Structure 1
Amino acid sequence: MTTRPDWALCRHCRAVVYAKRLARNHGVCPQCGGCFPLTAQEWLDLLADPESLRPLDFDVPAGDPLGFADGVPYAQRLAQARHATGMAEAVLCARLSIVDTPVVVAAMDFRFMGGSLSAAVGETVTRAAETALADRLPLVIVTASGGVRMQEGVVGLMQMAKTAQAMQALDDAGLVTACVLTDPTYGGVAASYAMLGDVVIAEPGARFGFAGPRVIAQTIKQELPPGFQTAEFLLERGFVDLVAPRAQLRERLGRVLSVGARRDTAANLCPAEQVVIRDPEQVPELDPWEAVRRARHLGRPTTAEYFRMILDDFEELHGDRVGGDCPAIVGGIGRLGREPVVVIGHQKGHTPAELAAHNFGMPNPAGYRKAARLMRLAAKWGLPVVTLVDTPGAYPGVDAELQGQATVIAETLRLMGALPVPLVTVVTGEGCSGGALAIAVADRVLIMENAIYTVISPEGCAAILWKDSAAAPTAARALRVDARSLLELGVVDGVVPEPPGGAESDNNRAGTLVREAIRAELADLAARDPARLVAERRARFRRFGGDVNAAALTHPGGSQ
């Protein structure tokens, strides 16, 4: 950005923008939507509720541990930066509230020696984290940095470990952390606290990485892909949760903080409609092959549609933080009534294009890693987990195998078995094989009236055992895939009825039934402590195979 007293030049579209108009627009170019850098103080002002901002002055002295000089003594460069910015260092901290949630915020300023990570910056960020820990408040960090300050050498380098440990202390305490990535964020800041938030939000177009693109290009002598290291590039590859335009950032960040930081137990005072059928005799009989056909109906609500229907304040979170964002698994946070929850589910679609975009609901390893990450987030925040199952199975591709499909499914099964929060699963369509079970190791497993749950698709079973895929109807009946049979077997704890004509005939009513069914199960589980939840969940799955024929008789959902 090149500035004059009254005008600014947008580096994105090269438009000349009136400075006062730019200020009114929070530094966003009205021509192209590109983001101009904000100062640390401007970030604090942008995020804070009116009259909530209380600066934190930690009075951290700046040092010159190496007596460094590169033609100009380091002490002189510090003095110049202080004079130019009016700041003591490259970060400002404050207590404030964001959409009514009290927080501690540390905001970096690129104007101060490129927002570089010095001993004073590391100490200030660490003290902000310690203040959040002492006050039991969420911590929000806004990053803008070129990396570790070279003039402080290895002392600056040590700040990466120091700040990472401060973030770990907040994790251990179950406190919410959020990081906002602004342009640019590189080097030691990118490789420490910037990526350690529970939720990572990036501004559109923000550049982020460990090594800068010029360094990479010069080192490996390769042409970099389009959009390399931009926020959108990172979102697609699963490294950030969401990209939020500056005008939406405060509201969306506030939503995340509200869900993570507060649990409103008043939800338990609002009884849910009792809709779940627990007696197999009360579940309408349905030919298993007809159940398969109905479960696959393209008009049935997708998981994303159920989330929109049953949740308030839903915010989808993306990525496995390893390198992928599988579109066949969607998840995020929201409120079910007044109860904050983490939600995860398989996503299909209604049209051939939607189905292809979501890989027909067949997750790859990145999908299960994303699900596991959200489950661990739920455990840290102490929130119930709701999963919706609708998949023909995990993706059976070469890439999935090369990425460890079996390993990641096994690890997800183990994680769910030990998760110290309530877990409720609803099979809303197809529930096939380990790809379904991987997000269905729950305290309560429900199934919709016209859904199915099976070890393998009827066509696959028929091809293997009957040597004829046309025998799929026979296989479906032999596998007992329908809801009534599953309730008799004790595999599910209850059946969620569907509107006349099925969920595809009245999506809204289907959503209401699913919502009330989940609310009732969560209300029943709410009084259980973590140890009891885990013990009962393990006992639930332990009994399968102990006495197969007696399972239904000893199961709460079976006939007595």
Structure 2
Amino acid sequence: MRCGGCAALVYGKRFLRGLGVCPDCGWHSPLTARQRLEQLLDPGSAVPVEAPEPPPDPLGFADTRPYPDRLAEARAATGLRDAVLCARGLVEGRPVVVAAMDFRFLGGSLGCAVGGLITEAARTSLREGVPLLLVTASGGARMQEGVLSLMQMARTARAMAELDEAGVLTVSLVTDPTYGGVAASFATLSDVILAEPGARLGFAGPRVIEQTTGQRLPEGFQTAEFLLANGMVDDIVPRPALRGVLGRLLALRSPAHGPRRPDGPAVLRGADRVPDRDAWEAVRLARHSGRPTTADYAGHLLDEFTELHGDRLAEDCPAVVGGPGRLAGMPVMVIGHHKGGPGLAQRQRRKFGMPTPGGYRKAARLMRLAAKLRLPVVTLIDTPGANPGPDAERGGQAVAIAENLRLMSRLPVPVVAVLTGEGGSGGALALAVADRVLVCENGVYSVISPEGCAAILWKSPQAAPTAAAALRLHARELLRLGVADGVVPEPEGGAHRDHARAAALLGDALAETLADLVPWDTARLLAARAGRFEQFGAQTGFGSQTGRRTS
């Protein structure tokens, strides 16, 4: 056969073994709805989901041919009742309801029958409490059904809203192409949006855009790669890897109990147990370029970690990394700053760990998903501060930070924040409104950098060490002030000397802390979190511990 991407000749059996992916260029061939179900679901697990038959021709529509004739032809050619096929089934043993669209049926257009089938799939998912997987392929609304086709966008969006309210996971798999009313309704309302390589998604098709605007579109516009860079999809997943990724996502469930506690105390609770150190030396260690990043900790600590991308608005900020995984067997949502490692190019690409507004919006989106699925949230903080550039200001940096503070203050799941390195100002606090705040032994946390403080108050950047001491920003002082609830030990000489050991120590600290918090109900969590932050400023005198909560 000839590849539809590179036009190379491919041995047919090899092409089929590769699930319809060209072994030379990676082109993903179109699949039928039945092929989708066969590839994604465990063998023999599919059970059809049906919906009532809608009126066959609600408008009595005819263009060059009567609409009923077009329907009959599409049904004969595809063997489908309409452009979507729905089934209950299993993916790697995990239950799911799947609605897979078929572009062969009138371009996968959204009409009353498709709206009814998508809605029935969502109702089945809601009734059985199992995740919904939507596999989309569509040219848009079905013109032959007029405004009734338009109404299916609202109909399916309402069905998705019910799943949100019930805390049921929804996942979309965007395939090529997905346009119009499908893109602007259920396809982009899922909690997690995956895309096949090269898949196109948009409200208006490229020809319409060019005809309307008179502008030539850039290469790759509306492709999965474009969408990932602009924060619209969570990941691009090649077809052979889909079952594994879906299996991990479908396994996300609210934990029944916390992780197993470590054998001994893992968190230092008393300031006298934390080594005293020079404040400026603590700053230098916290900023060491070799310290583990959030991605490093996720790699060491989490099983089945799936990084999710994008703020669903404009960008995928590389300074924030996050996604679900399993910590000591318990599902959690991990979100953290990423400075980029020791290389300058890596650090530049990651914006030196200084998030844009999109980074905070991405974090907020993942926290809302954690709240919906009842997953504990772990944030790992290591940033000089929020991005100070003009683009960040135009994007609403202050608003994005403020929104996160409000969101975290009322998040109905346990939240543990860890200052793994540098905690700079509001850029750090935007991920640190938590039930428990831990600080790594060589971490720091401050309202401003020592250099900035020295330049403003001492009128000299050379006074930075003096300012660092005055700010009382290292672990021992943070614990004494009550800003931190505990200190996580580090390997001798600092976390940069032994990433695996640093991760093991952090893992024990998180397990110990979450084992305490997971059994708490929402009311207790929110009351204690409010009390935690109410105490700051309500006491006077450095080192006062009298008002520290005991909850």
TM-score by structure 1 length? Answer: 0.96
The reply on whether 1:341 has 2:313 as its aligned counterpart is: no
Q: Are 1:306 and 2:297 matched, yes or no?
A: yes
Query: Are 2:444 and 1:452 aligned?
Result: yes
1:27 to 20, 29, 36: 20
Is 1:365 equivalent to 2:357 in the alignment? yes
Aligned residue for 2:104? 111
The match for 1:224 among 192, 212, 217 is 217
Paired residue secondary structure (1:419): coil
Partner residue of 2:281 out of 285, 290, 308: 290
Residues 494 and 175 of structure 1, relative CA distance in 2, 3 Å threshold:
same
The answer (yes or no) to whether the contact 2:259–2:328 under 8 Å persists in 1 is no
Determine if contact 2:535/2:547 at 8 Å carries over to the other structure: no
Structure 2 counterpart of 1:234: 227
Against the structure 1 CA distance between its residues 189 and 18, is the aligned structure 2 distance closer, same or farther, given a 3 Å change threshold?
A: same
Pick aligned residue for 1:410 from 358, 377, 402: 402
| 2:535 alignment counterpart | 543
Give the one of 477, 483, 502 matched to 1:491: 483
- Distance in 2, Cα, partners of 1:231 & 1:279: 50
Given residue 152 of structure 1, which amino acid in structure 2 is its aligned partner? E
Asked if 1 retains the 8 angstrom alpha-carbon contact of 2:50 and 2:117, the reply is no
Whether the 8 Å contact between 2:442 and 2:475 is mirrored in structure 1 is yes
| Residues 50 and 120, structure 2, Cα contact 8 Å, conserved in 1 | no
Measure, in 1, the Cα distance between the counterparts of 2:451 and 2:418: 23
Q: Separation in 2 of the partners of 1:72 and 1:39?
A: 25
Q: Which residue of 2 aligns with 1:400?
A: 392
Any idea what SS the aligned residue of 2:545 has? helix
Q: Which amino acid aligns with 2:509?
A: A
**Count of aligned pairs:** 549
- Name 1:190's counterpart in structure 2: 183
* Secondary structure in 1 matching 2:445: coil
Aligned to 1:42: 35
Check whether the contact 1:494–1:557 (CA below 8 A) recurs between aligned residues: no
Tell me if structure 1 keeps the 8 A contact 2:28–2:197.
yes
Whole-angstrom distance in 2 between the partners of 1:67 and 1:104? 33
2:247 to 250, 254, 258: 254
Supply the distance in 1 between the matched residues of 2:415 and 2:137 (Cα, whole angstroms): 38
Pick the aligned partner of 1:209 from 193, 202, 208: 202
List alignment gaps of at least 5 residues for structure 2: none
Q: Give the 3-state SS of the residue equivalent to 1:425 in structure 2.
A: strand
CA distance in 1, matches of 2:122, 2:136: 15
In structure 2, distance between residues paired with 1:376 and 1:433 = 23
Separation of aligned partners in 2, 1:269 and 1:511: 17
Q: 2:162 aligns with which of 169, 173, 196?
A: 169
* SS of equivalent to 2:380: strand
Determine which of 469, 474, 478 is the counterpart of 2:470: 478
Partner of 1:51: 44
What is the CA–CA distance in structure 2 between the aligned matches of 1:266 and 1:417, rounded to whole Å? 23
Deviations 1:152-198 (A, max 9, x none): 00000100000000000000000010000000000000000000110
Distance 1:246 1:137 in 2: 23
* Distance change >3 Å, CA 141–CA 308, structure 1 → 2: same
Task: Answer whether contact 1:74 1:151 (CA < 8 A) is retained.
Answer: yes
Q: 1:527 aligns with which of 519, 527, 536?
A: 519
Deviation per residue, 1:269-317 (Å, 9 max, x gap): 5546421101101111110000001001111111110111111100000
Q: Which AA in structure 2 matches 1:283?
A: V
Q: Compared with structure 1, are the counterparts of its residues 272 and 125 closer, same or farther at alpha carbon in structure 2 (3 Å cutoff)?
A: farther
Report the Cα distance in structure 2 between the residues aligned to 1:70 and 1:278, rounded to whole angstroms: 76
| 1:343 maps to amino acid | V
Separation of aligned partners in 2, 1:492 and 1:557: 12
Q: Distance in 2 between matches of 1:99 and 1:83?
A: 33
CA distance in 1, matches of 2:486, 2:412: 23
Which range moves more in the overlay, 19-28 or 467-476?
19-28
DSSP 3-state at the match of 2:218: coil
Q: CA deviation at 1:214?
A: 1.0
- Name the amino acid aligned to 1:490: G
Cα 1:551–1:92 change in 2 (3 A) is farther
Q: 1:272 to 1:43 in 2, by over 3 A?
A: farther
Query: Quick one: distance in 2 between partners of 1:370 and 1:35?
Result: 29
Q: What is the Cα deviation at residue 257 of structure 1?
A: 1.2
State the shift of 1:556 in Å: 5.1
Between the aligned partners of 1:57 and 1:390, the Cα distance in structure 2 is 50
Matching residue of 1:200: 193
What's the RMSD between the two structures over aligned residues?
A: 1.4
Give the corresponding residue for 1:3.
Answer: none
The whole-number CA distance in structure 2 between the counterparts of 1:100 and 1:554 is: 53
Amino acid at match of 1:540: R
2:256 maps to 265
Q: Secondary structure at the match of 1:410?
A: helix
> Which residue is 2:498 aligned to?
506
Moved more, 14-23 or 30-39: 14-23
Q: CA deviation at 1:551?
A: 6.6
Q: Report Cα offsets for 1:232-274 as digits up to 9, x if no partner.
A: 1000000000000000011101111112xx3453654554642
Give the 3-state SS of the residue equivalent to 1:548 in structure 2: coil
**Number of the residue aligned with 1:81:** 74
Provide the residue aligned with 1:68 in structure 2: 61
Distance, in Å, in 1 between the alignment partners of 2:42 and 2:265 is 40
- TM-score for both structures, normalised by structure 2: 0.98
Contact 2:258/2:514, CA 8 A, preserved across alignment = no
Residue of structure 2 in register with 1:553 after alignment: 545
Task: Give, in whole Å, the separation in 2 of the partners of 1:278 and 1:383.
Answer: 26
Gaps of 5+ in 1: 1-6
Q: Distance in 1 between matches of 2:225 and 2:264?
A: 42
CA distance in 2, matches of 1:551, 1:37: 66
Q: Match of 1:364, as an amino acid?
A: T
Identical aligned pairs, as a percentage?
61
Query: In the TM superposition, what is the alpha-carbon distance from 1:19 to its structure 2 partner?
Result: 3.2
In structure 2, C-alpha distance between the alignment counterparts of 1:35 and 1:554, rounded to whole Å: 64
**Paired AA for residue 10 in structure 2:** V
The answer to whether 1:122 aligns with 2:109 is no
Which digits, 9 at most, give the CA deviation of each residue in 1:213-246, with x for residues without a partner? 1111111111212210000100000000000000
CA distance in 1, matches of 2:222, 2:434: 38
Residue number in structure 2 paired with 1:463: 455
State the Cα distance separating 1:57 from its structure 2 match.
2.8
